[in-house]
């Protein structure tokens, strides 16, 4: 007798056999939906209707309903393992401590598996049978080999029922992998033929569904020996789909199949040209992104001529070509408040104490590290969507510099953004404070400044004079000259500190790479490990040499990408120089201050 399921509550009033019949009927009714997502949703609504507050599945007392709901809550997907594909059956939810919902197939109670087995004799829809037989095979229940063959047959039949092309392509791909897993090769060959037929139909039809075509091709190409017909299909797909992203995918499949070195080289050249052509028909950031993609492809080809050509095109970009939007904001500070902030400099007593006050009073321009980290964490909680957006930094020349590759990289970029914001707020204040030194005490002579800077044991006479000249340039109105000449001295001060610690960091010549000291970031990490204040460490790093954001001013200046710097920028790097110089020893004036 046929049973029509009305509510989940009615199941509890039936015998076990009637419950099984009712659940099987619900599965077959749900299978009439237009897509697998709609089918799963319809089944869940049917089996949960009438339960108190839509109770969780594990709390349902009717075993057949619980078994059916669990069966269709597993995520079945195809994943790549090296150059092969494999079917993965996973619970829809897996917690951090290892809990899953539903239980893993291996951990499901035997009585639930028995219900799955009984349902295979009651369910008639290919969609329902494919899932139940697949789970029995995954559990290695009974004659697992036969369950796999039945699952593949049902997947093939179910694929033909879906209106959504991606559902059909996915079911065919799963069917193929399940058949191959038990060496049902005649069955697998039949599925491959169906995949090829679907791929040809996609190319011949008026609809442009490249996602469906690519899903079909990926399943075929995962075969140990894909049929030769795929080469013609890929060539036809390149002609039909003119979107550069789709053509990129098609060409990469062709490159992977090409065995001849000359053919591979030609395909790489076509791929680079795809992105160059896309750039020619684009503007602004989109054009820059396409040119960057062309260079990435050229580098992957390892063809030096191709790399040089792609790099030349990217290098022609200028900052104005990017058409970036500039946002400015200003904040006002009362004159009385400014005077209050500058009062410690005016009341320092002499210019020596005032210079020391630049770092002792105002602290690092990037702010306190702990507070910055707290702000970044709060921003991530309050503005979740901003953390999902991909970001890429461009340099002073408008070319791409840095793109985060991991969650750690994204966290580092977010912290540098917060620090950069703090610098923008603090830099004008430091500029006024440094100017106030000269206003209050006059501009010291070079010899006076050199005598002051010579107090620390790690500052020799030449370095002391160089530091003094940088400050004089600032006070004389040449902020750019002050910044350009103090920035290299920052690395000198850091290097002197590391050398004084007896850390062996110098590297001898290797091949064509001359002997040299490691970079500023590496040296700063040594100082941090030896007790350098973490907030100051972040300040020096973010201002001078942080690839993940900030000013990174040392590299930008060294390569000539910054052509003009004002007094706020110069004041920040001069403050850093004073702080690092103070770490070289214990100058008398620092102690007095």
DSSP letters spanning 21-54:
HHHHHHHHHHTTSSSHHHHHHHHHHHHHTTSTTS
User: Regarding predicted confidence, which is higher, 406 or 394?
Assistant: 406
User: CA–CA separation, 566 vs 580, rounded Å?
Assistant: 22
Q: What is the pLDDT of residue 391?
A: 78
Q: 47 pLDDT band (50/70/90 cuts)?
A: confident
Q: Identify the burial level of 340 via C-beta atoms within 10 angstroms of its C-beta, where 0-12 means exposed, 13-18 middle and 19 or more buried.
A: exposed
Average pLDDT rounded to a whole number, residues 151-171: 89
Cα–Cα distances in Å, from 410 out to 91, 220, 510? 29, 37, 33
User: Regarding predicted confidence, which is higher, 153 or 285?
Assistant: 153
Q: What is the pLDDT of residue 514?
A: 65
User: Regarding predicted confidence, which is higher, 368 or 526?
Assistant: 368
Q: 2 pLDDT band (50/70/90 cuts)?
A: very low
- Look at strands 93-94 and 84-90 and give their pairing: unpaired
User: CA–CA separation, 506 vs 527, rounded Å?
Assistant: 16
Q: 589 pLDDT band (50/70/90 cuts)?
A: very low
For residues 122 and 20, the answer to whether their CB atoms sit within 8 Å is yes
- The average confidence (pLDDT) of the chain is 87
Token code pair at residue 93: 């939810």
How crowded is residue 281: how many other Cβ atoms within 10 Å of its Cβ?
10
Q: 140 pLDDT band (50/70/90 cuts)?
A: very high
**In this predicted model, what pLDDT tens digit does every residue of 325-362 receive, in sequence order?**
666 777 778 888 889 999 999 999 999 999 999 999 99
For residues 155 and 199, the answer to whether their CB atoms sit within 8 Å is no
Q: 545 pLDDT band (50/70/90 cuts)?
A: confident
What is the pTM assigned to this prediction? 0.69
How many whole angstroms from its chain centre is CA 434? 41
Average pLDDT rounded to a whole number, residues 4-19: 61
Token code pair at residue 62: 């009717």
Q: What is the pLDDT of residue 50?
A: 57
Q: What is the pLDDT of residue 226?
A: 92
Average pLDDT rounded to a whole number, residues 215-235: 93
Q: What is the pLDDT of residue 327?
A: 67
Q: What is the pLDDT of residue 587?
A: 44
Decide: helix, strand or coil at residue 183: coil
Decide: helix, strand or coil at residue 514: coil
DSSP state of 323: -
Q: Residues in the chain, how many?
A: 593
Average pLDDT rounded to a whole number, residues 27-41: 92
Token code pair at residue 566: 């004002």
User: CA–CA separation, 351 vs 589, rounded Å?
Assistant: 10
Q: Residue 80 forms beta bridges with which residues?
A: 85
Q: What is the pLDDT of residue 61?
A: 63
Q: Is the peptide bond before 23 cis (omega within 30 degrees of 0)?
A: no
Domain boundaries along the sequence of the chain: 8-223, 242-324, 350-368+423-592
User: CA–CA separation, 572 vs 567, rounded Å?
Assistant: 9
Average pLDDT rounded to a whole number, residues 113-140: 96
Q: Residue 400 forms beta bridges with which residues?
A: 394
For residues 309 and 273, the answer to whether their CB atoms sit within 8 Å is no
Q: What is the pLDDT of residue 22?
A: 92
User: CA–CA separation, 69 vs 63, rounded Å?
Assistant: 10
Q: pLDDT exceeding 90 applies to what percent of the chain?
A: 60
Token code pair at residue 188: 């697998």
Predicted confidence (pLDDT) at residue 462 exceeds the cutoff of 90: yes
Token code pair at residue 119: 């349902």
Residue 537's nearest CA partner among 552, 549, 524 is 524
Q: 13 pLDDT band (50/70/90 cuts)?
A: low
Predicted confidence (pLDDT) at residue 10 exceeds the cutoff of 60: no
The residues near 539 (Cβ < 8 Å, ≥ 6 apart) are: 364, 365, 366, 419, 576
Q: Identify the burial level of 129 via C-beta atoms within 10 angstroms of its C-beta, where 0-12 means exposed, 13-18 middle and 19 or more buried.
A: buried
Q: What is the pLDDT of residue 138?
A: 96
Cα–Cα distances in Å, from 53 out to 10, 30, 93, 373? 16, 22, 21, 42
């Amino acid at each position: 007798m046929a049973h029509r399921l009305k509510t989940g509550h009615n199941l509890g009033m039936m015998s076990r056999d009637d419950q099984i019949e009712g659940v099987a009927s619900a599965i077959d009714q749900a299978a009439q939906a237009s897509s697998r997502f709609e089918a799963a949703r319809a089944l869940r609504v049917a089996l949960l209707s009438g339960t108190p507050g839509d109770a969780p599945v594990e709390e349902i007392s009717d075993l057949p309903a619980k078994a059916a709901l669990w069966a269709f809550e597993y995520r079945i997907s195809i994943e790549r393992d090296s150059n092969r594909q494999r079917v993965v059956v996973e619970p829809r939810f897996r917690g951090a401590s290892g809990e899953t919902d539903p239980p893993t197939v291996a951990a499901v109670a035997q009585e639930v598996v028995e219900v799955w087995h009984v349902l295979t004799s009651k369910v008639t829809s290919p969609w329902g049978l494919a899932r139940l037989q697949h789970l029995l095979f995954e559990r290695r229940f009974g004659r697992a080999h036969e369950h796999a063959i039945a699952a593949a047959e049902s997947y093939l039949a179910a694929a033909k029922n879906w209106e959504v092309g991606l559902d059909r392509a996915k079911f065919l791909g799963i069917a193929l992998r399940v058949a191959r897993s038990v060496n049902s090769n005649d069955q697998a060959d039949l599925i491959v033929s169906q995949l090829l037929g679907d791929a040809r139909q996609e190319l011949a039809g008026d609809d442009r569904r490249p996602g469906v075509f690519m899903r079909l091709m990926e399943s075929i190409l995962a075969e140990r020996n894909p049929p030769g017909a795929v080469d013609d299909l890929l060539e036809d797909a390149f002609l039909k789909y003119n979107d550069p992203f789709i053509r990129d995918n098609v060409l990469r499949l062709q490159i992977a199949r090409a065995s001849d070195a000359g053919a591979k080289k030609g395909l790489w050249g076509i791929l680079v040209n795809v992105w160059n052509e896309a750039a020619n028909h684009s503007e602004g950031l989109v054009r820059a992104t396409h040119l960057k993609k062309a260079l990435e492809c050229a580098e992957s080809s390892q063809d030096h001529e191709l790399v040089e050509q792609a790099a030349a095109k990217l290098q022609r970009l200028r900052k104005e070509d990017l058409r970036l939007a500039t946002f400015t904001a200003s904040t006002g500070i009362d004159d009385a408040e400014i005077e209050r902030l500058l009062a410690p400099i005016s009341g320092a007593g002499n210019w020596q104490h005032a210079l020391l006050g630049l770092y002792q009073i105002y602290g690092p321009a990037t702010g306190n590290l702990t507070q910055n980290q707290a702000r970044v964490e709060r921003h991530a909680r309050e503005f979740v969507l901003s953390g999902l957006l991909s970001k890429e930094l461009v340099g002073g020349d408008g070319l791409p510099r840095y793109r985060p590759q991991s969650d750690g990289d994204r966290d580092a970029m977010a912290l540098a953004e917060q620090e950069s914001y703090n610098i923008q707020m603090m830099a004008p204040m430091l500029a006024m404070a440094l100017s106030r030194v000269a206003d209050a005490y006059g501009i010291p002579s070079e010899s006076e400044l050199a005598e002051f800077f010579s107090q620390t044991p790690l500052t020799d006479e030449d370095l002391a004079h160089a530091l003094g000249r940088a400050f004089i340039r600032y006070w004389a109105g040449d902020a750019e000259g002050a910044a350009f000449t103090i920035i290299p001295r920052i690395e000198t001060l850091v290097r002197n500190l590391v050398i004084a610690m007896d850390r062996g960091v110098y590297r001898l010549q290797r091949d064509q790479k001359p002997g040299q000291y490691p970079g500023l970031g590496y040296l700063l990490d040594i100082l941090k490990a030896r007790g350098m204040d973490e907030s100051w460490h972040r300040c020096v790093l973010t201002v001078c040499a942080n690839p993940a954001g900030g000013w990174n001013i040392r590299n930008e200046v060294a390569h000539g990408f910054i052509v003009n710097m004002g007094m706020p920028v110069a004041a920040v790097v001069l403050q850093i120089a004073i702080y690092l110089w103070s770490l070289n020893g214990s100058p008398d004036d620092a102690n007095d201050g």
